[in-house]
């Protein structure tokens, strides 16, 4: 499969979508990102990587970080995690208070905001320095050893994250948050502020395409069962309230973020990361989703 040729075709294919989406503005630091950025990297499980466009430029990965906090929590907490977080698609906005009230304080899945906040709470209970542990985990997975938090983005999130404060306090009121609300949200805002490039993200995701084994590190980071569960959750819960449409069009387990990034895997073959800041109405990258649809259509390879 000539992945290099396919990726080189993408910028021209995506150009017609420029201006048809909107950059996230509810987080002020994200509103200033140029809308015309586009980058993509695909890394095969055997080690070959292909990139195009702004693939080396770092951006705020936002909710993509939830894949990595979930991985850490699963390895530390095991099945106890699922007593506090569900595994079903939400069908509602990622920050819905109504759904959390209906579910009596048990978030529907770990990729909506309430679920990710509970995962952060569990990491605070099991790790001595969860912010540093998470940052170092991404550094090891990606090979980008200067990866760090974007403190401006973290500060911007904290200053405008009123709904997340409401979610955390609601969780606390239902006994599903064990640590101090401010400490939990500090970890949550920082995880969303992590800045990686497409090439770093694709490399960081490759173990989810190879049954938990990092070929770069030469070791297993997760069990095959854990990888199966994470990929299943990405497919059913990873692209906000548009998971059905995304699965229909793209056919890959994926996780998106309002920073304009999307990561996806084709088990046994590759991991891919794409970044384009303009979002569709569901909060997913407009050109990013189209690029992944083009990839799976041209290659005639998806999980289906």
Give per-residue pLDDT as tens, 90-146: 878 888 888 898 889 999 999 999 999 999 999 999 999 999 999 999 999 999 999
As a whole number of angstroms, the distance between CA 271 and CA 211 comes to: 12
Residue 304 lies inside a defined structural domain of this protein = no
Query: Phi, psi (5° rounding) for residue 264?
Result: -150, 160
For 127, half-sphere exposure in the C-beta direction (CA atoms, 13 angstrom radius) is 24
Q: Is 188 a catalytic residue?
A: yes
Dihedral angle sign, alpha carbons of residues 186, 261, 109, 124? negative
260 in Cβ contact with 273 (< 8 Å): no
At residue 180, the pLDDT reads: 97
Q: Containing domain of residue 65, as a range?
A: 3-299
Using a cut of 0.85, tell me whether the model's pTM lies above it.
yes
Instruction: Pick the range with the lowest mean pLDDT from 18-32, 174-188, 201-215, 236-250.
Output: 18-32
Cβ pair 202, 49 in contact under 8 A: yes
Secondary structure, 3-state, 186-255: HHHHHHHHEEECHHHHHHHHHHHHCCCEECCCCEECCCHHHHHHHHHHHHHHCCHHHHHHHHHHCCCCEE
pLDDT digits (tens, 9 = 90+) for 213-240: 988 888 888 999 999 999 999 999 999 8
12 is a domain residue: yes
Number of structural domains in the chain: 1
pLDDT at 277: 96
Q: Is 240 a catalytic residue?
A: yes
Active-site residue, from 258, 265, 272, 274: 258
Tokens describing residue 27: 């987080």
Residue 168 has pLDDT above 90, yes or no: yes
d(CA 76, CA 69): 11
**Residue (of 296, 277, 297, 298) closest to 286 by Cα position:** 277
Alpha-carbon gap, residue 100 to 170, rounded angstroms = 8
Helix (H, G, I), strand (E, B) or coil at 302: coil
| Residue 213 Cα to chain centre, angstroms | 19
- Catalytic residue list contains 258: yes
Share of the chain above pLDDT 70, in %: 100
Under DSSP, the state recorded for 279 is: B
- Please confirm, yes or no, whether 63 is among the known catalytic residues: yes
Identify which has the larger pLDDT, 11 or 58.
Answer: 58
- Cβ neighbors of 32 (< 8 A, separation 6 or more) are none
Catalytic residue among 55, 60, 63, 193: 63
Mean pLDDT of the chain: 94
Q: Residue 18 has what pLDDT? A: 83
State residue 224's pLDDT score. Answer: 95
Check 71, 188, 213, 270 and give the catalytic one.
188
User: Which candidate in 66, 131, 172, 255 is catalytic?
Assistant: 66
Is pLDDT of 26 > 90?
Answer: no
The CATH code of the domain that includes 137 is 3.40.710.10
| Catalytic annotation, pick one of 213, 240, 256, 265 | 240
Q: Is 67 one of the annotated active-site residues of the chain?
A: no
């Amino acid at each position: 499969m000539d992945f290099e040729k396919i990726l080189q075709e993408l910028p021209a294919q995506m150009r017609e979508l420029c201006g048809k989406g909107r950059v996230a503005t509810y987080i002020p630091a994200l509103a200033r990102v140029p809308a015309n950025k586009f980058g993509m990297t695909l890394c095969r499980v055997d080690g070959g990587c292909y990139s195009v466009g702004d693939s080396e430029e770092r951006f705020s990965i936002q909710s993509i970080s939830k894949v990595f906090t979930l991985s850490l929590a699963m390895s530390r907490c095991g099945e106890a995690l699922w007593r506090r977080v569900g595994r079903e698609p939400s069908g509602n906005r990622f920050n819905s208070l109504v759904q959390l009230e209906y579910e009596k304080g048990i978030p529907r899945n770990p990729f909506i905001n309430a679920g990710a906040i509970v995962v952060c709470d569990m990491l605070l209970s099991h790790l001595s320095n969860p912010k540093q542990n998470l940052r170092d985990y991404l550094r090891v997975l990606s090979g980008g050893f200067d990866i760090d938090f974007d403190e401006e983005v973290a500060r911007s999130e904290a200053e405008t994250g009123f709904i997340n404060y409401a979610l955390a306090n609601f969780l606390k009121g239902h006994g599903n948050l064990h640590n101090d609300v401010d400490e939990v949200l500090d970890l949550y805002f920082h995880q969303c502020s992590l800045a990686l490039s497409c090439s770093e993200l694709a490399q960081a995701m490759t173990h989810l395409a190879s049954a938990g084994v990092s070929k770069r590190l030469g070791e297993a980071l997760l069990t095959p069962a854990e990888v199966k569960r994470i990929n299943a959750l990405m497919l059913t819960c990873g692209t906000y309230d548009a998971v059905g449409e995304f699965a229909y069009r793209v056919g890959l387990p994926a996780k998106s973020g309002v920073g304009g990034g999307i990561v996806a895997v084709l088990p046994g073959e590759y991991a891919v990361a794409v970044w384009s800041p303009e979002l569709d109405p569901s909060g997913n990258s407009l050109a990013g989703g189209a690029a992944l649809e083009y990839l799976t259509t041209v290659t005639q390879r998806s999980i289906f």
